[in-house]
Amino acid sequence: MTTLTPILTRNWDQPDSFTRVAYEREGGYQALRTALGMEPDAIVQAVKDSGLRGRGGAGFPTGMKWGFLPPASPNPRYLVVNADESEPGTCKDIPLMMANPHVLVEGIVISSFAIKSNHAFIYVRGEVLHVVRRLQQAVAEAYEAGYLGRNILGSGFDLDLVVHTGAGAYICGEETALLDSLEGFRGQPRLKPPFPAVAGLYGGPTVINNVESIASVPSIVQNGSDWFAAMGTEKSQGYGIFSLSGHVTRPGQYEAPLGITLRELLEMAGGVRAGHRLKFWTPGGSSTPIFTDEHLDVPLDFESVGAAGSMLGTRALQIFDETTCVVRAVLRWSEFYAHESCGKCTPCREGTYWYKQMLKRLEAGQGEEADLETLLDLSDNILGRSFCALGDGATSPVVSSIKLFRDEYLKHFEQGGCPFDHAKSTVWAEGGSR
């Protein structure tokens, strides 16, 4: 399987791809017309039948999530699109919204119609001002064309869509912290249950989905659930955007069926940068245990990556060659988690701080083998004991790197310092691959 499936990325090479005119030229908003002629429950069923699983990392079936909304509730229902995208390495939603914001807007209108919601939000990180402007422009164009607002395309269906900018915190991508932030509070995770489907935004039934999940809905409505389900693997159906970054010849977004392997993707991306070899990589961002060149043929679907000891996550394939010090990379990620820990629970607040302090010493060669056991013990006290998945994610690089690269940690202690020349590991150092 070496074929790409450009669906969300189809028009990215056109200079005006982000405009409504360009999107309509390629058949955009036809799926909305089809959807408005369907029963809302039939759309939910089509999404269930397609096998679409959440593209935000956890892979929860999207149609099933929509089905959890209580049939009768005195409160309005909400659709919230999670466009926070702050995981290190993850970089698919931002280019998607930049290049083709209308596929997201169309997905939001169809999904809101399906779940009977008249209010939708896009929660986007505020730092990406260029993307915020693109989204605002797309929303304004959609209102002008009658795709948003009152009586959409004469169907009697009303929808208002608000673009809300976050203030830049990784935790605000966690769905319940996102809701707190959207309501104007400091973003910290909420206790579950109740789940957002029952009591979410302003206490109302709420569906929260990733950008790519919602952007995939028009293609399912237009082409049918069988078309979508025919791609991918038995339990991980459809296509997804794979983001290759780091020490790779042609970094970028590769849209392909789930189940493709890194070996196949690397072939299309021109391989690891010239003169170098693959050392380690993340299958789905920094919160997923690292892999090595032994995992090049693992099918990149939820089940196979899980069986091989990691997680598919957000398909953020960060590639590191032999010039990279794994201890230093893990230190950098741990500094990120310590900085982003919201402080609500002790295992994560204290544990990520300890990680940072210990790894700093270890990278500087001031440690001994027993420290690795302390790090693993600390990880046991964070994993499964933290209030939300940020804490769990912080343990992934630490535990997996000790498992796969214990010798490299030991070399730091033996030499009393880092054995790597860090200048060589930057992608720009040798004339650069970009």
Ligand X SMILES: Cc1cc2nc3c(=O)[nH]c(=O)nc-3n(C[C@H](O)[C@H](O)[C@H](O)COP(=O)(O)O)c2cc1C
Q: Which residues of 302-338 are buried (b: 16+ CB within 10 A; e: fewer)?
A: bbbbeebbbbbbbbbbbbbbebbbbbbbbbebbebbb
How many CB atoms within 10 Å of residue 272? Answer: 22
Residue 172 makes contact with ligand SF4 by CB under 6 A: no
CA angle 411, 415, 418 (to 5 degrees): 70
**C-beta of 45: minimal distance to ligand X in Å?**
18
Residue 101 makes contact with ligand X by CB under 6 A: no
Which residue matches tokens 């072939």? 267
Instruction: Choose among 221, 201, 185, 216: nearest CA to 117.
Output: 201
Residue 173 makes contact with ligand X by CB under 6 A: yes
**C-beta of 81: minimal distance to ligand X in Å?**
8
What is the DSSP code (8-state) at residue 53? Answer: B
Listed ranges 131-139, 316-324, 365-373, 387-395: which one lies at the site for ligand SF4 (CB under 6 A): 387-395
User: What is the rounded radius of gyration, in angstroms, for the C-alpha atoms of the chain?
Assistant: 22
Cα–Cα distance for residue pair 273/433, rounded to 1 Å: 6
Considering CB distances under 5 to 8 angstroms, the limit depending on partner class, which of ligand X, ligand SF4, none binds residue 391?
ligand SF4
Residue from 113, 280, 387, 405 in contact with ligand SF4 (CB under 6 A): 387
How many CB atoms within 10 Å of residue 11? Answer: 19
Considering CB distances under 5 to 8 angstroms, the limit depending on partner class, which of ligand X, ligand SF4, none binds residue 342?
ligand SF4
The contact mask relative to ligand X for 203-232 (x = CB under 6 A, - = no) is -----xxx--x-------------------
Beta-bridged to residue 291, according to DSSP, are 281
Q: Which amino acid is at 426?
A: T
Cα–Cα distance for residue pair 282/330, rounded to 1 Å: 12
Residue 422's contacts (CB-CB under 8 Å, 6 or more residues apart) are 325, 328
Listed ranges 1-9, 112-120, 263-271, 387-395: which one lies at the site for ligand X (CB under 6 A): 387-395
Residue from 16, 33, 60, 226 in contact with ligand X (CB under 6 A): 60
Instruction: Choose among 227, 294, 243: nearest CA to 92.
Output: 243
Residue from 106, 174, 255, 321 in contact with ligand X (CB under 6 A): 174
The contact mask relative to ligand SF4 for 248-267 (x = CB under 6 A, - = no) is --------------------
- Judged by CB, which is closer to ligand X: 29, or 170? 170
**C-beta of 404: minimal distance to ligand SF4 in Å?**
25
Listed ranges 30-38, 158-166, 296-304, 383-391: which one lies at the site for ligand X (CB under 6 A): 383-391
**C-beta of 362: minimal distance to ligand SF4 in Å?**
22
Residue 341 makes contact with ligand SF4 by CB under 6 A: yes
CA angle 240, 170, 7 (to 5 degrees): 15
Instruction: Choose among 370, 311, 360, 296: nearest CA to 334.
Output: 360
Listed ranges 45-53, 205-213, 282-290, 382-390: which one lies at the site for ligand SF4 (CB under 6 A): 382-390
The contact mask relative to ligand X for 16-55 (x = CB under 6 A, - = no) is --------------------------------------xx
Beta-bridged to residue 53, according to DSSP, are 61
Phi, psi (deg, nearest 5) at residue 200: -115, -115
> What are the residues binding ligand X (CB under 6 A)?
54-58, 60, 62, 82, 84-87, 170-171, 173-175, 208-210, 213, 388-390
> What are the residues binding ligand SF4 (CB under 6 A)?
171, 189, 341-345, 348-349, 386-388, 390-391
